[in-house]
């Protein structure tokens, strides 16, 4: 498929799902009502509140989170030249989660709203940096996964410790709900808190495409083509930390988007890492918005958590991927 | 006229010196061979000359220190073809060859006419045009080697440093690639090539350098350098010699007995 056509198709799909996500929920709306409500001219003022203040920020955040995860996955896979790299697998997401839980534990987020996203992004950065320090520059698949698992486990252990020592049941439930990952009850305040950081991360990650292309021929060839490999690595670290940190700070942990999306799209862009970046961002946005529609549509006693759903869908995919890799190596 | 030169180039790996005060230079119009047994420091010297490896001494391009050049500028002047082929994604052949144009392209700009032409020429010269839309993982070892050579040629740099470019090729393509290097030299480029084949070195190179244990032990015209004494000292072999069409033939014959 043509690259431009692919991007167009994904953009149309994303816009369509964003619109659908304005319609579904406890109060279903027709398309006409939703459009009128979006522009503030609905007959029923409650519809305006539902669309503008509840569903629109939720949809925007879903797209932001998905784009961040998809793009970070594509960049990490290109940087490490490994199809298993993903913000969740490399421990970045768990570290961001730890940062957020620390902010909740000490009650910083109540005193200073930026504390939670900042702590999440800071820990995401620390986690990615640790990964590179331990796994080194030419990490094989095994080293990388083991280091990621170790980092992830450490972050999860420290997160559990924070919950273990949590000052009161209210704080505990806040942490748990937050960790399950959800877009429930998000407002434009959340958008304005997280979007600038995520956007900064996207911009940084967008500049890595050329270097990632060159890296597909190995670090030496990349360097001989004028790529500053050290700087590329640093940009990828900072970019994923910002984007994933902002995403995790908004929704809690939403797994496997960063793994699945670049994988599905890679053959469509003929495996070229730079051509994968924008489609992965769009694809990630589509997947999370779609998942967020699903949690509202699937009938259940209380609303399903987004992170739970993506992991439930993602893990079978991950297993299928491993089987396929094994099968193709035979 | 010398275009690329290294003076007293030394490279340390930990406490060990893997290259000791090597002097090497290449002029426009020259095909220079680097020879020596495994582990002699040939690859190290090539990487140091292309600015990929920290080294002491002075490496210059047209008199300018290559370490003072920006990576962009250096990459347009010195093309490097590594010995081992790394290909992490099964991209189509054309996309891989086009990566050779990265030094000439700005961020977020589509390839220009000159870029497309360079890619086409490089692919034609290395006989990979027919593979254009094939994926890397469907190619044989020899085809891969030619695709990666095309990638290096597509840079269209005045200096090409090639590390064992013919080791993986069949005889027909070995000759074609060496002819190609010779043609590039004749057109005014400078080529340094690491070779293990003494016969090719003797036949194709204008000058050769022989390295042994990190030290340059001989340099000059192949016929002068590749003496029985040197082959015995450096490789521990004796060679059979003959001539054909007025050119000398040199074939490694047997391991010398001490």
**DSSP code of residue A216:** T
Residue A316's pLDDT is 83
Residue B156 per-residue DSSP state: -
Whether B168 has its CB under 8 Å from any CB of chain A: the answer is no
- Residue in A closest to B157 by C-alpha: A225
C-beta of residue A93 within 8 angstroms of C-beta of residue A311: no
* Whole-number Cα distances in Å, A60 to A28, A94, A105, A120, B234: 19, 23, 28, 20, 69
Return the exposure string of A248-279: e unless at least 16 CB atoms fall within 10 Å of the residue's CB, then b: bbbbbbbbbbbbbbbbebbebbbbbbbbbbbb
Which chain A residues have a beta carbon less than 8 Å from that of B87?
A: 216-217
Among the partner residues A213, A216, A226, nearest to B74 by beta-carbon distance: A226
Rounded CA-CA distance A84/A77 in Å is 7
Residues 6 or more apart in contact with residue B35 via CB below 8 angstroms: B42, B194, B195, B196, B198, B201, B208, B209, B210, B211
pLDDT in tens, B198-220: 999 999 999 999 999 999 999 99
A75: CB partners within 8 A, 6+ apart: A205, A208, A212, A236, A239, A240, A277
The CATH number given to A3-329 is 1.10.3470.10
Q: Which residues contact B161 (CB under 8 A, 6 or more apart)?
A: B46, B49, B50, B78, B79, B80, B81, B191, B192, B193
Which of these, A202, A178, A180, A177, lies nearest to A284 by C-alpha position? A202
Q: Cβ B82–A207 below 8 Å, yes or no?
A: no
Size of interface A-B (CB pairs under 8 A): 76
Domain segments of chain B as ranges: 2-255
Return the pLDDT at A136.
Answer: 65
β-bridge mates for residue B192, sequence order: B32, B161
| Residue A227 with chain B: CB contacts under 8 Å | 71, 102
Mean pLDDT of B32-36: 97
Using an 8 Å CB-CB cutoff, list chain A residues near B99: 213-214, 216-217, 225
May I ask the CATH architecture of the domain B2-255? 3-Layer(aba) Sandwich (3.40)
Contacts of B135 in chain A (CB under 8 A): 271
Please report where in the chains the tokens 């806040």 appear, as a residue: A174
Closest of B231, B72, B232 to residue B157, by C-alpha: B72
Query: From CA B115, how far away is CA B104, in angstroms rounded?
Result: 8
pTM, entire model: 0.90
Chain A residues whose C-beta sits inside 8 Å of any chain B C-beta:
81, 207, 210, 213-218, 220-221, 223-228, 266, 270-273
Nearest to A273 among B80, B89, B105 (CB): B89
Condensed to tens digits (0 to 9), the pLDDT of residues A245-280 reads: 899 888 887 878 898 899 889 999 999 999 999 999
Q: Where are the domains of chain A?
A: 3-329
pLDDT given at position A74: 97
State the complex-level ipTM.
0.92
- Block means of pLDDT (10 residues each) for chain A, 330 residues, are 90 97 90 90 87 92 95 93 82 89 85 84 86 70 78 92 85 81 81 92 96 94 92 87 88 84 92 96 95 86 80 79 72
What is the predicted pLDDT for the residue at B172? 94
């Amino acid at each position: 498929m043509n690259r431009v056509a692919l991007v167009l198709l994904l953009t149309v799909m994303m816009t369509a799902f964003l619109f659908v996500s304005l319609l579904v929920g406890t109060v279903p709306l027709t398309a006409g009502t939703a459009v009128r409500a979006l522009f503030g001219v609905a007959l029923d003022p409650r519809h305006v509140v539902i669309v503008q203040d509840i569903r629109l920020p939720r949809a925007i955040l879903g797209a932001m989170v998905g784009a961040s995860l998809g793009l970070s996955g594509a960049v990490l896979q290109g940087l490490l030249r490994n199809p298993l790299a993903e913000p969740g697998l490399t421990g970045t997401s768990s570290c961001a989660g730890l940062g957020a839980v620390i902010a909740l534990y000490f009650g910083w987020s109540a005193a200073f709203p930026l504390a939670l996203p900042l702590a999440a992004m800071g820990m995401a950065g620390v986690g990615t940096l640790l990964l590179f320090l331990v796994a080194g520059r030419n990490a094989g698949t095994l080293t990388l996964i083991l280091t990621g698992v170790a980092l992830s486990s450490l972050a999860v252990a420290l997160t559990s410790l924070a919950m273990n020592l949590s000052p009161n049941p209210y704080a505990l439930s806040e942490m748990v709900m937050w960790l399950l990952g959800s877009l429930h009850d998000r407002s434009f305040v959340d958008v304005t808190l997280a979007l600038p950081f995520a956007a900064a991360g996207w911009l940084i990650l967008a500049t890595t495409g050329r270097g990632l292309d060159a890296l597909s021929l190995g670090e030496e060839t990349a360097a001989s083509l004028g790529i500053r490999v050290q700087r590329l690595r640093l940009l990828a670290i900072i970019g994923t930390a910002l984007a994933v940190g902002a995403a995790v700070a908004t929704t809690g942990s939403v797994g496997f988007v960063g793994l699945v999306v670049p994988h599905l799209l890679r053959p469509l862009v003929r495996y070229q890492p730079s051509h994968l970046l924008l489609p992965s961002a769009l694809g990630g946005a589509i997947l999370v918005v779609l998942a967020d529609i699903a949690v509202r549509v699937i009938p259940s006693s209380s609303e399903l958590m987004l992170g739970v759903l993506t992991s439930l869908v993602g893990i079978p995919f991950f297993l299928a991927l491993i089987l396929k890799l094994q099968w193709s190596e035979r | 006229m010398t275009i690329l030169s290294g003076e007293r180039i030394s490279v340390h790996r930990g406490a060990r010196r893997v290259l000791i005060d090597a002097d090497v230079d290449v002029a426009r119009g020259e095909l220079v061979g680097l020879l020596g047994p495994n582990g002699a420091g040939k690859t190290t010297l090539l990487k140091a000359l292309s600015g990929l490896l920290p080294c002491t001494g002075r490496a210059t391009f047209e008199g300018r220190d290559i370490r003072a050049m920006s990576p962009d500028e250096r990459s347009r002047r010195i093309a490097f073809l590594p010995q081992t082929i790394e290909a992490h994604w099964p991209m189509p052949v054309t996309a891989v060859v086009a990566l050779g144009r990265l030094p000439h392209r700005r961020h977020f700009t589509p390839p220009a006419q000159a870029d497309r032409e360079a890619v086409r020429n490089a692919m034609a010269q290395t006989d990979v045009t027919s593979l254009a839309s094939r994926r890397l993982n469907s190619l044989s070892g020899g085809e891969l080697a030619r695709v990666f050579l095309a990638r290096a040629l597509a840079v269209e740099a005045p200096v090409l440093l090639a590390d064992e470019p013919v080791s993986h090729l069949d005889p027909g393509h070995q000759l074609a690639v060496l002819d190609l290097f010779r043609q590039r030299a004749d057109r005014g480029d400078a080529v340094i090539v690491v070779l293990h084949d003494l016969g090719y070195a003797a036949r194709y190179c204008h000058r050769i350098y022989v390295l042994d244990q990190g030290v340059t032990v001989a340099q000059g015209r192949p016929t002068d350098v590749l003496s029985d004494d040197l082959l015995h000292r450096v490789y521990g072999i004796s060679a059979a010699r003959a001539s054909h069409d007025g050119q000398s033939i040199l074939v490694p014959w047997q391991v010398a007995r001490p």
